[in-house]
Structure 1
């Protein structure tokens, strides 16, 4: 039964968007979170509230879509003012010199009916490395207030902070090397 629902959702999506659509993030409804282990066992989380996303849909099933993501490092929030300030420093993101995290995909390949593998260039602190993210098409709906048609995706992936020169003075036992990224992305047609 679940398989039928996914198929019907995908069929609805294919019929509602045509190829070559340009979409943008509906920012108030997007959430980009990250987490990292602390002292091996504890998990610390934060968000990037100031982001921008452009999404150029090439094919009706999303394959080969083009994505450009930017996060303002100065707005990252771990719900702890001192930690937020420390993350802005040269010890971590050096947000004065490198104010943005950027991602531009090179591929957006369909894995199955509603899942994709997105690979592209992730730039943090002036270092650009190839990174992969899992993307799930969650569905589409119409906002009952704005009447805008919305397209919802969930994204997750992991990258290594030390590869980007983030927090190099802190051993992995203190702060984990793996940064886990989870995002809920709501897109709307570009006006």
Structure 2
């Protein structure tokens, strides 16, 4: 019998990092998201993951930059208000390390990506609910998803890097 787990938004972080001016990084996150994991195995080795984030919840702690990211230059939130991820497979490397494959859709463009996932275990939370935790990391090229805007500095350096690092800390509650 399948078990459904829901992301706990109070204990989950969905972050990304991208190079700025080639020498530093800007960190951002999504504050409004939801996701579920369905599995029949206690070790999540057959997990099916579904996730979506609200583009308008993006924050880099800079209102002007956030507004630009929501604009047609980047995410185009008016026409593409959500980003989604749906898993296609999961493979277990050892007791803690997994590889999660799936389709990421940003700005109407869907690409296959791979995330490294570390399973931190399952415990009883407050009350009687089981809680499981994962840490996920991956990289994407933003231009693959139509996020192509860039500027050049006076010396010809790029303002925004192409590689985006994904960093997700997920806490799941058994429903």
Match of 1:167 in 2: 148
Q: Which runs of 5+ in 2 are unaligned?
A: none
Does residue 46 of the first structure (1) align with residue 28 of the second (2)? yes
SS at match of 1:27: coil
SS at match of 2:114: strand
Query: Comparing both structures, which one devotes a greater share of its residues to helix?
Result: 1
Q: Distance in 1 between matches of 2:110 and 2:104?
A: 5
Instruction: Output one character per residue of 1:54-89: Cα deviation in whole Å (capped at 9) or x when no partner.
Output: 100132221121000101000000000111101010
User: TM-score normalised to the size of structure 2?
Assistant: 0.92
Query: Comparing both structures, which one devotes a greater share of its residues to strand?
Result: 2
Q: Distance in 2 between matches of 1:47 and 1:169?
A: 20
> How far 1:168 moved relative to its partner?
3.2
Match of 2:163 in 1: 178
Q: Distance in 2 between matches of 1:77 and 1:150?
A: 27
List aligned pairs for 1:8-157, cutoff 5 A. 20-144=2-126, 146-157=127-138
Question: Aligned pairs, how many?
Answer: 171
> How far 1:170 moved relative to its partner?
4.0
Q: Distance in 2 between matches of 1:88 and 1:142?
A: 39
> How far 1:45 moved relative to its partner?
0.2
Q: Distance in 2 between matches of 1:143 and 1:66?
A: 22
Q: Which runs of 5+ in 1 are unaligned?
A: 1-18
Instruction: Output one character per residue of 1:109-130: Cα deviation in whole Å (capped at 9) or x when no partner.
Output: 1011111101110000000000
Range moving further from structure 2, 171-180 or 151-160: 171-180
SS at match of 1:40: coil
Asked if the contact 1:58–1:66 (Cα under 8 Å) also holds between the matched residues in 2, the reply is: no
Asked if the contact 2:150–2:158 (Cα under 8 Å) also holds between the matched residues in 1, the reply is: no
Range moving further from structure 2, 59-68 or 23-32: 59-68
User: TM-score normalised to the size of structure 1?
Assistant: 0.85
Q: Distance in 2 between matches of 1:45 and 1:142?
A: 32
Q: Distance in 2 between matches of 1:167 and 1:103?
A: 21
